[in-house]
């Protein structure tokens, strides 16, 4: 189930000097405020991500680096705030200085083929620091480029487009919208089919701000894990094809309510992950499901083309003992309840909380955040080379917090569609996690399965 190891893969990258790509035409010089959802502490980080594209015969002789470099300059005319720099004002309020300084672009070549990255291609990618150069002095978010792009040509004729993005500026939906526009322009469009919309004031706090919902995701609790010796953290990905996804759904056969694949998948993995961490029975744990508010209201809260952060992550709270000893549907019901809290009133309450409490971070103590990118459309983005083999984050975690997992749509060499789950756990926990998944999916009798679960928690 886990990705075949390609950790021993070594290759050489020849990289040109990083350059700044500025808008192809003059754009407005102004300051634009981020929303009170955008500039919360938990989003003040950079996320590394990548697209992997195979060789395409019809693009023979076309240089992806030159094509994307030129398209970037044109796309920045429409997305000109991305060519600016973030500044921090009074009350930690973030704003963009739209000054046309540009985004970082790096051109490179690697003596490796796309197929050497494994089947399926998924994180952790070997030598990723070669595929995405971390330019010294530009590692932060304040006064730094919001976007760093590296295009690496492969010896098979394919290429990797890797990038860092500043999460305060946009979310997964916004990233897909921007790169979709970039691909359209690379394929000779004169402008994006979706016009970008700023309108960050739509997600600002009310006047006066008032917290009207319960926000367990921001509740402060003491971290009782500090005294423990930290274990080495490892990255891993797990591919779930149609057979395994069907087996997961069968684990909920006795549940007669409606649920989505994402909800069942998340509940299943949350239980396996909790068991793997070997927590004290009464320790409180949290699951936060990132829930996008786009398209959930009529009329819509956010207009088409809005590329800022448009999500909240309500928390499900329980104890390690209750989650691992209760029937699996208990976890499913917690996931469904948390997702259901993501209403317009909830996101407005979060914006108000940010202003009242100084833009706090989510509670990281024994928390797991899940971001479902399976419907983001990232893999469909076509620069002329067809669909990406892999499109999504390059690793689990966000900033200094390792407990963020991403679910990414993926296909293996057999052509089977599935979901790749990215996780970061202590090494011992990762081994237990993988074993627990296999134990659960190899059991078909409910009673046998429940007894195995109980034994694994003792």
The whole-number pLDDT of residue 3 equals 44
Global model pTM greater than 0.85: yes
Is the pLDDT assigned to residue 162 strictly greater than 70?
yes
Encode pLDDT of 86-121 as tens digits: 999 999 999 999 999 999 999 999 999 999 998 889
Nearest to 422 by CA among 116, 49, 41, 113: 49
Residue 225 has pLDDT above 90, yes or no: no
Q: Which of 41, 109, 119, 382 is catalytic?
A: 382
Residue appearing with tokens 């000109």: 80
294 phi/psi in degrees, rounded to 5: -65, 135
**Mean of the per-residue pLDDT values of the chain:** 92
**Number of CB atoms found within 10 A of residue 154's CB:** 24
Instruction: List, for residues 339-376, the tens digit of each pLDDT value.
Output: 999 999 999 999 999 999 999 999 999 999 999 999 99
Give the CATH superfamily of 27-203.
Answer: Chloramphenicol acetyltransferase-like domain (3.30.559.10)
Cross-strand bridge partners of residue 405: 370
Q: If you ran DSSP here, which 8-state letter would residue 17 be given?
A: P
> pLDDT at residue 180 above 50?
yes
310 neighbors 203 (Cβ within 8 angstroms): yes
Rounded distance between C-alpha atoms, residue 269 and residue 283, angstroms: 18
**Residue in 38, 167, 173, 216 annotated catalytic:** 167
Tell me what percent of the residues of the chain surpass a pLDDT of 70. 94
pLDDT of 324 higher than 70: yes
SS (H, E, C) 363-384: CCCCEEEEEECCCCCHHHCCCC
Q: Can you tell me the mean pLDDT for 170-181?
A: 97
pLDDT at 209: 97
Going from N- to C-terminal start, the domains of the chain cover: 27-203, 216-220+231-457
Q: Is 167 a catalytic residue?
A: yes
CA angle 393–395–399, rounded 5-degree value: 95
* Same fold? 27-203, 216-220+231-457: yes
pLDDT digits (tens, 9 = 90+) for 392-447: 999 999 999 999 999 999 988 788 999 999 999 999 999 999 999 999 998 644 43
| Cβ atoms 331, 271 nearer than 8 A | yes
- The dotted CATH code for 216-220+231-457 is 3.30.559.10
Look at residue 347 and give its three-state secondary structure.
helix
Give the DSSP H or E segment for 169: none
Is 382 among the residues known to form the active site? yes
């Amino acid at each position: 189930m886990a990705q075949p190891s390609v950790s021993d893969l070594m290759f050489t990258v020849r990289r040109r000097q990083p350059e700044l790509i500025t808008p192809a035409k003059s754009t407005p010089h102004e300051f634009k405020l981020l929303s009170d959802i955008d500039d919360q502490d938990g989003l003040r980080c950079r996320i590394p991500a990548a697209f992997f594209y195979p060789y395409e015969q019809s693009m023979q002789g076309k240089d992806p680096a030159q094509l994307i470099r030129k398209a970037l300059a044109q796309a920045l005319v429409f997305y000109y705030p991305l060519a600016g720099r973030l500044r921090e004002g009074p009350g930690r309020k973030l704003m963009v200085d739209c000054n046309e300084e540009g985004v970082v672009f790096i051109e490179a070549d690697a003596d490796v083929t796309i197929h050497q990255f494994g089947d399926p291609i998924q994180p952790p990618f070997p030598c990723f620091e070669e595929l995405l150069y971390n330019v010294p002095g530009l590692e932060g978010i304040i006064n730094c480029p919001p976007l760093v792009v590296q295009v690496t040509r492969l010896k098979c004729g394919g290429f990797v487009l890797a990038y860092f993005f500043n999460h305060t500026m946009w979310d997964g939906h916004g990233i897909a919208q921007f790169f979709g526009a970039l691909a359209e322009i690379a394929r000779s469009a004169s402008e994006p089919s979706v016009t970008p919309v700023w309108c960050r004031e739509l997600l600002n706090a009310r006047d006066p701000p008032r917290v009207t919902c319960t926000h367990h995701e921001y509740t402060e609790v003491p971290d009782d894990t500090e005294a423990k010796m930290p274990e080495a953290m490892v990255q891993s990905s797990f591919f779930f094809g149609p057979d395994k996804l069907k087996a997961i759904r069968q684990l909920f056969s006795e549940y007669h309510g409606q649920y989505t694949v994402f909800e069942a998948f998340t509940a299943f993995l949350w239980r396996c992950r909790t068991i793997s961490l070997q927590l004290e029975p009464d320790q409180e744990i949290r699951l936060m499901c990132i829930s996008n508010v786009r398209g959930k209201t009529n009329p819509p809260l956010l207009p088409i083309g809005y590329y800022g952060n448009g999500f909240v992550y309500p928390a499900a709270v329980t104890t390690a003992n209750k989650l691992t000893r209760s029937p699996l549907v208990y976890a499913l019901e917690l996931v469904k309840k948390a997702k259901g809290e993501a209403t317009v009133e909830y996101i407005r309450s979060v914006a108000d909380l940010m202003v009242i409490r100084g833009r706090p971070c989510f509670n990281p103590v024994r928390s797991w955040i899940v971001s479902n990118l399976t419907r983001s459309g990232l893999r469909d983005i076509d620069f002329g080379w067809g669909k990406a083999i892999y499109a999504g984050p390059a690793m689990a975690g966000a900033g200094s917090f390792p407990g963020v997992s991403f679910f990414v749509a993926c296909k293996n060499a057999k052509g089977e569609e599935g979901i790749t789950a990215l996780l970061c756990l202590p090494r011992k926990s990762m081994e237990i996690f993988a074993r627990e998944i296999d134990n659960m999916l190899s059991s078909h009798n409910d009673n046998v399965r429940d007894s195995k679960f109980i034994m694994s928690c003792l």
